[in-house]
Amino acid sequence: MALVRAARKTSSSYTCRYCRHHVFLSFRGQDTRKTFTDHLYTALVNAGFRTFRDDDEVQRGEGIKPELQKAIKHSRTSVIVFSKDYASSTWCLEELVMILERKRISADHVVLPVFYDVDPSDVRKQTGSLAKAFARHQRSQPSNKLMGNFFPTTLFYLYSIAVMFEIFFSFGLQLFRHESKFINKIVQVIGEKLRRRPLSVPHRMIGMHSRVNELNLWLQDGSDEVGILVIYGMSGIGKTTIAKSVYNTNFERFEGSSFIENIREISQQPNGLVQIQIQLLSDILIGRKVKIHCVSEGMTEIEDAISSKRVFLVLDDVDHISQLDVVLGMKDQFYPGSKIIITTRRARLLKVHQVTKVHTVQTLDNKESLELLSWHAFGRDHPIEDYIEYSEKLVDHCGGLPLALQVLGSSLLGESIGVWKSALEKLKAIPNGEIVNKLRVSYDSLQDDHDRKLFLHIACFFIGKDKDYIVKILDGCDFYTIVGIQNLIDRCLVTIDEFDKVHMHDLICGMGREIVHQESEEPWKRSRGWHHKDSFKILSENNVRNMCYMYTYMFSFL
């Protein structure tokens, strides 16, 4: 029972944040150390995989060495070279238990059994060399009841893994005429397993689980329809986080998968659309490199790749139809059952390419917001008692935007109440720079200065005003207000409620006013003035130009 307790004792730490090794090799040294395992190790290293093998030829003791336990814990895959005398070694069996416990605790740990000159049915039926090995163990340790039940059960579990992945059908040495082909196949499969791995997501998905579950149901409905789903919402609201979580849960259900992040940013780089196509093909083809010289050539290659297998694609941060055309221009060629998820801030993209479902991401409610802020500011799910009032004020300021809650919560981690109070006062006058820069992406992506000026006018003067009133005022100032407002809605910068009032998230409004504020330190040199203190400074200057400025840019909008 000591072995079982040891495995359970270390299980809680098996899900490690980093991995030192790509591959951990488990083998019977007397059988294959200087032959098959040595060749396999060399091939893995030459392929670029950090591979751990125990080269210690010293007489082994009764228990597994701590460094071996750490190596198993910090490896992404374990390759078990199951040779004829593998089960003869108590050491190997204990090592196997640790590997399978690592697999049980961490689902993304890959275990690859390699049946080297062994019939897999011997493992399933506990016959042949295995039966002889267990008989020897029982004769040498007659009091060890585990040997009669625990290890045979463990080996049957190993066989079940092999069946699930159909490993022994690929790796059975009897199916290969040469060991070199056998080893190349192992290296190839390891490469495929390592490349298809989960993406990094926050440890705490506050308020996201119901959204993720809804999308999982859509992906797992068993339909042969080629489905396109759009995740839509403003910057910083959690679209990419939701998409990553859904991807992690589902990518192994498909024959090919790809998550392409920051498409908007990549597409702006030289030959950016081609780079997107190259990454997508590399992912779907599991590492095989395809040379592409132009977008049209890439579309031909993609059409060939997607027509023969069910694929799952996530296209993150798409903001223009051209970025979709290079991938989805051949939608009818997708293999039945393929699924595509798109994240975007652009409402117009909801109407293109036969979108089958739209998921609009809403801001967090107050309870969710307070919990998310608390994890980042206090390391727990609720505020410290003395900080409750200030936490609630900060939640109000963030307006349910996860980005703001994370940024501001982390910035105040470990700070005194005095610092919290001062930070809240500062935020009333000066928005947080990191949040402004994230939100400004939508403003900068507006198509022209006309729409950018219109956005700044609304942010400074017209929040909560009736749409027709705004149109009447700004059309008189040579704006094309109706189409301009529609462009702002398209970028998630403004919304219109059921009473035809124009609204803007408080942080987006703050971002707009900060853009104006940064035009100059002197209020009279800025393009707009809305704050009473700035207005007084402007009016107190004995300057006709300043007076005209105020009448033009402030009083005319009252």
pLDDT digits (tens, 9 = 90+) for 210-246: 899 999 999 998 889 999 999 999 999 999 999 999 9
186 vs 116: CA distance, rounded Å: 12
CATH topology agreement for domains 21-140+150-195 and 220-360: yes
Q: Which pTM was predicted?
A: 0.74
Fold (topology level) of 435-556: Arc Repressor Mutant, subunit A (1.10.10)
What are the C-alpha distances in Å from 242 to residues 98, 199, 222, 247, 378?
33, 11, 21, 9, 24
Tell whether the model's pLDDT for residue 423 goes beyond 90.
yes
User: Stretch 394-401: mean pLDDT, rounded?
Assistant: 96
Tell whether the model's pLDDT for residue 170 goes beyond 50.
no
Q: HSE (CB half, 13 Å, CA atoms) of 437?
A: 4
3-state SS, residue 329: coil
**Phi, psi of 200, rounded to the nearest 5 degrees:** -75, 130
Instruction: Point out the least confidently predicted range of 127-141, 232-246, 285-299, 504-518.
Output: 127-141
452 vs 443: CA distance, rounded Å: 7
For residue 467, what pLDDT band results from cuts at 50, 70 and 90?
A: very high
**Is 95 one of the catalytic residues?**
yes
For residue 146, what pLDDT band results from cuts at 50, 70 and 90?
A: very low
Looking at residue 151, its pLDDT comes to 57
Contact 328, 313 (CB under 8 A): no
392 vs 249: CA distance, rounded Å: 34
More confident residue, 279 or 92: 279
Work out the percent of the chain whose per-residue pLDDT is above 90: 44
For residue 6, what pLDDT band results from cuts at 50, 70 and 90?
A: very low
What pLDDT digit, counting tens, does each position of 47-62 carry? Answer: 888 899 887 543 444 4
For residue 205, what pLDDT band results from cuts at 50, 70 and 90?
A: confident
CATH of 21-140+150-195, one of 3.40.50.10140, 3.20.20.70, 3.90.870.10, 3.50.50.60: 3.40.50.10140
User: Stretch 345-370: mean pLDDT, rounded?
Assistant: 88
Shortest CA distance to 318 belongs to which of 260, 256, 242, 248?
Answer: 260
For residue 9, what pLDDT band results from cuts at 50, 70 and 90?
A: very low
Work out the percent of the chain whose per-residue pLDDT is above 70: 80
343 vs 319: CA distance, rounded Å: 9
Contact 83, 179 (CB under 8 A): no
Average per-residue pLDDT in the chain? 82
Shortest CA distance to 30 belongs to which of 88, 69, 107?
Answer: 88
Q: Which residues pair with 502 in a beta bridge?
A: 496
Fold (topology level) of 366-429: Helicase, Ruva Protein; domain 3 (1.10.8)
User: Stretch 488-507: mean pLDDT, rounded?
Assistant: 94
In the chain, where the domains are located:
21-140+150-195, 220-360, 366-429, 435-556
Q: Give residues with Cβ within 8 angstroms of 226, minimum separation 6.
A: 331, 334, 335, 336, 337, 338, 339, 340
Q: How far is C-alpha 282 from the chain's CA centre?
A: 18
Looking at residue 541, its pLDDT comes to 62
Q: Give residues with Cβ within 8 angstroms of 156, minimum separation 6.
A: 123, 124, 126
What pLDDT digit, counting tens, does each position of 67-106 carry? Answer: 888 888 889 889 988 888 887 777 787 788 788 888 878 7
For residue 11, what pLDDT band results from cuts at 50, 70 and 90?
A: very low
Shortest CA distance to 233 belongs to which of 73, 355, 350, 108?
Answer: 350
For residue 462, what pLDDT band results from cuts at 50, 70 and 90?
A: very high
Shortest CA distance to 108 belongs to which of 181, 44, 201, 176?
Answer: 201
Q: What's the angle, vertex CA 9, arms to CA 73 and CA 155, rounded to 5?
A: 65
* Residue the block writes with tokens 């290969």: 176
Q: What CATH architecture does domain 220-360 belong to?
A: 3-Layer(aba) Sandwich (3.40)
Helix axes 388-398, 402-411, angle to 10 degrees: 140
Looking at residue 128, its pLDDT comes to 64
More confident residue, 57 or 175: 175
Looking at residue 217, its pLDDT comes to 93
What's at 454, amino acid-wise? Answer: L
Looking at residue 159, its pLDDT comes to 53
What are the C-alpha distances in Å from 397 to residues 94, 242, 338, 427, 460?
56, 23, 41, 8, 18
Which of 62, 67, 94, 95 does the annotation list as catalytic? 95
Q: 3-state DSSP helix/strand/coil percent for the chain, to nearest 5?
A: 55, 10, 35
